[in-house]
Amino acid sequence: FDNIDGVIWYDGRLVPWKEANVHLLTHGLHYASCVFEGERAYGGRVFRSTAHSERLKASANILDFEIPFSVAEIDAAKQLAIDANNLPDGYLRPIAWRGSEMMSVSAPNNTIHLAIAAWQWPSYFDPAERLKGIRMDLAEYRRPDPRTIPALAKASGLYMICTISKHKAERKGYADAMMLDWEGRVAECTGANIFFVQGGKLHTPIADCFLAGITRATVIDLARRRGIEVIERRIMPEELDGFAECFITGTAAEVTPVSEIAAWRFIPGAISEQLMRDYAVEVQPKGRQAAA
């Protein structure tokens, strides 16, 4: 991924992709003093850009640093990264980290850097293909107790268990893994939130020890606009037997139906399909939606 022809927005200017480097003694690399976002542009516009920029700033504050750019400046920088690389349908990766001046755990005066990379990632929206659903494993690692780690930040350090869990699931032939929380309740997936359908209503875990996804919020809003009731509650894994449909939500996953989680089975149905289609319309820049 370090050899693409393109430009990366790096601390306020566009630099060639291959020159967007950090020093080995970067605090963020050693101690995970690092926060990021994952976003998508559709039709040349970054979807819910400001919400993502605000979350990035908030994640940095949780890790005790301040990104030296405003939300408006970050929004403009993301748009520049999309435009400069000519990526109407692209994925964006803003990342902020503590620099390399000091190498002790305490490094309050290290420079805070911000970079924004963007690359091509069209949404292959084929409803029939998606409705087959993905197969997921049950992860061994659990989302940690929020008293042990800043669980609500989109912080790099929280992804260590996601990578391990996803690798393990993929080795077994699954697409992803569902994670429980520290108390054994259903939490989320390694990079997406999770919803279930029962009796025409949506059920989703309360996001108090994992990332409250921006896609999750969008889908809750879309469902309510359709008159579908959304219940945020504690969900125990034993309950999965009683759910008819299941889908995951995330910037990358968008709305993706699930057919299996370990021994549990789901049949992607009308509500998953409806929300999948509604989301595909919602992400298009205003003015294009009528045509979508």
Residues that bind ligand PMP (CB under 6 A): 38, 162, 188, 191-193, 211, 213-216, 249-251
- Contact, 180 vs 237, CB < 8 A? yes
Nearer CB in complex with ligand PMP: 28/213: 213
Alpha helices in the chain (DSSP H): 27-31, 49-62, 71-84, 127-130, 160-171, 214-225, 270-282
Nearer CB in complex with ligand PMP: 8/178: 178
Query: Smallest distance from the beta carbon of 224 to ligand PMP, in angstroms?
Result: 17
Residue 216: closest CA among 171, 246, 250, 165:
250
Nearer CB in complex with ligand PMP: 100/130: 130
Query: Smallest distance from the beta carbon of 20 to ligand PMP, in angstroms?
Result: 21
Tokens 């789901």, located at residue:
266
Nearer CB in complex with ligand PMP: 133/191: 191
Nearer CB in complex with ligand PMP: 35/87: 35
- Contact, 89 vs 123, CB < 8 A? yes
Nearer CB in complex with ligand PMP: 162/275: 162
Query: Smallest distance from the beta carbon of 162 to ligand PMP, in angstroms?
Result: 6
d(CA 206, CA 55): 18
d(CA 54, CA 127): 32
Q: Which residue's Cβ lies closest to ligand PMP?
A: 213
Query: Smallest distance from the beta carbon of 253 to ligand PMP, in angstroms?
Result: 8
Max intra-chain CA distance, the chain: 57
In order of 11, 128, 255, 258, the CA distances from 124 in angstroms are 32, 11, 12, 17
Q: Which residues fall within 8 angstroms of residue 89, CB to CB, at 6 or more apart?
A: 40, 41, 42, 43, 120, 121, 122, 123
Residue 159: closest CA among 186, 185, 188:
188
d(CA 131, CA 257): 6
Q: Is 286 a catalytic residue?
A: no
d(CA 262, CA 122): 30
- Contact, 210 vs 151, CB < 8 A? yes
Q: Which of 57, 78, 154, 166 is catalytic?
A: 154
Query: Smallest distance from the beta carbon of 196 to ligand PMP, in angstroms?
Result: 16
Query: Smallest distance from the beta carbon of 143 to ligand PMP, in angstroms?
Result: 9
d(CA 92, CA 174): 26
Catalytic machinery residues: 154
